[in-house]
Structure 1
């Protein structure tokens, strides 16, 4: 027993019962010969208002319009089936993310006869993807930030230092470093406890971050109670001024330190240095030099800045 094929009305009923929106465009006239009635529920534009490809193009978000039209026209002219994601404007001024899946129908001679396809609402998927991307960006930011103090971490410094070094070498601008250590911090922790020690680290970091105030300046926690300031396009005098400003800002906080060997409040020792990198210079050697200056400051009695070799 054979059954007769369903008539056109059955196919149309099937198409119009899906959430995907079917459509067809005549290639010669660029006119819609059909678009599913679901389009009105999704975008608010009446089914009868979809007359030509211009109606389609004008209802694409202006930021997506040109690239989407150019891509679809080029693929269609080449006779290539394709997909395009774009924001379609709704009748009330909002937008919906659409995925258009396009099939090119050819004449017997191979020329393009029409385009048929389906529009799918992918707004929920796009929103989920955007949320994932946002979370990834937030995690990336967190991965470069010290969780205790809120300033950049060692990883961030290790990433930016060679970049700024290369810029300084290319431009001939000076690059400065300040390496900072909190004086007698072990004694502070032993006396006040680690909870108070963590708060102390946060307040010191805040002072240093405020002192290195330009957008390109970087304050990073180097490890333990040690911090580093990366100061691009900063000469020796300016770097010394930044270090002095940081010390003053910290002094203004008046953080008590009963077990300090240099006073009754938290102080720091600093090593400062500046270089215009040449082809023979090494960033790690320069960093070691500034670290040595820090220990010179500590050896000389702490609570001071050392910016020269002894």
Structure 2
């Protein structure tokens, strides 16, 4: 490796202003705090451009702490003090307050300078403006959350999808078992839907699915209630803390809402409007009950309703 030119070494050794010029020409903001007095012995002039506070106003660590956003202040100060007392180099991300009341995301990179005996002499470091990076990270997190929501939503009807039901059903089953509260399920199928599609076409069939889903979803009105598209023209309502009578009432309300919508169905075998068949079940899960067995039982009741002529509710087994 070629050695630096001896003249350049001499300049650096004899002229400390070279180092200061280099430090103050970067976008990173250098600083130094004396540990004993907790006073700034230096902070780069770039701080004024970034935060608006004059370079001369940074006197003690209190000036630094007071200019941290109140939501980040205590945890940031506690973390930095604890790490510094241990003599550990560290980094901290926090929102700094600007003089005009705005905020900037800062990454503080801290080096602990020690005495010969190992005690802390000073803290030195750099502040970096990471606002753009944080905004990009926040945008990515927002998109991830939106994608997660979409992954649990049926794209055609807008109600929850089978994945959402499969996620929440075990949770509500466990809650019902722990609390002794009843849990109800409604499994619902649109009557003669194949004939509907054959007669009106798939575009109109999709619209029919959306209108039925909206009606069913409006009946799952409590926060924990769930209406999900189970597949094809089949839907399921998951109703926590709902007894048999209440579940039957929800089922009847679903049928009435669809009757009021009067969605034409010229090829139905039970009338001239879209109808549904339903299986309804309620259980207080015990230690030996199986949620899949219960779901299968309610599903069989749906097919009993269909076998009995459709456009009806079955909540018992024959």
Could you say which TM-score interval applies, normalised by the shorter chain? over 0.9
- Can you list the C-alpha shifts for 1:248-301, whole angstroms capped at 9, x where unaligned? 111111100000000000000000010000011000000000000000100111
Distance 1:249 1:50 in 2: 68
- In the alignment, what sits opposite 1:101? 109
- In the alignment, what sits opposite 2:144? 136
1:219 to 221, 227, 237: 227
Measured on the aligned residues, the alpha-carbon RMSD in Å equals 0.7
Distance 1:250 1:123 in 2: 52
Pair 1:235 & 2:239 matched: no
Give TM-score scaled by structure 2 length: 0.97
Runs of 4+ in 1 over 2 A off after TM superposition: none
Distance 1:115 1:251 in 2: 75
- In the alignment, what sits opposite 1:151? 159
- In the alignment, what sits opposite 2:178? 170
Residue 280 of structure 1 aligns to a residue whose secondary structure is coil
Shift of 1:5: 3.9
1:253 to 237, 247, 261: 261
Shift of 1:246: 1.1
Distance 1:76 1:5 in 2: 34
- In the alignment, what sits opposite 1:120? 128
- In the alignment, what sits opposite 1:2? 6
- In the alignment, what sits opposite 2:96? 88
Distance 2:11 2:193 in 1: 87
Pair 1:180 & 2:184 matched: no
Residue 127 of structure 2 aligns to a residue whose secondary structure is strand
Alignment of 1:27-46 (within 5 A): 27-46=35-54
Shift of 1:221: 0.2
Unaligned runs of at least 5 residues, structure 1 = none
| Length, aligned pairs only | 310
Give TM-score scaled by structure 1 length: 0.99
Residue 109 of structure 2 aligns to a residue whose secondary structure is strand
Residue 237 of structure 2 aligns to a residue whose secondary structure is strand
Shift of 1:307: 0.5
Distance 2:254 2:98 in 1: 54
Alignment of 1:10-89 (within 5 A): 10-89=18-97
Shift of 1:2: 2.8
Distance 2:258 2:74 in 1: 55
Residue 230 of structure 1 aligns to a residue whose secondary structure is strand
Distance 2:101 2:250 in 1: 51
Distance 1:5 1:204 in 2: 82
Distance 2:75 2:255 in 1: 54
Unaligned runs of at least 5 residues, structure 2 = none
Distance 1:249 1:51 in 2: 70
Distance 1:152 1:140 in 2: 12
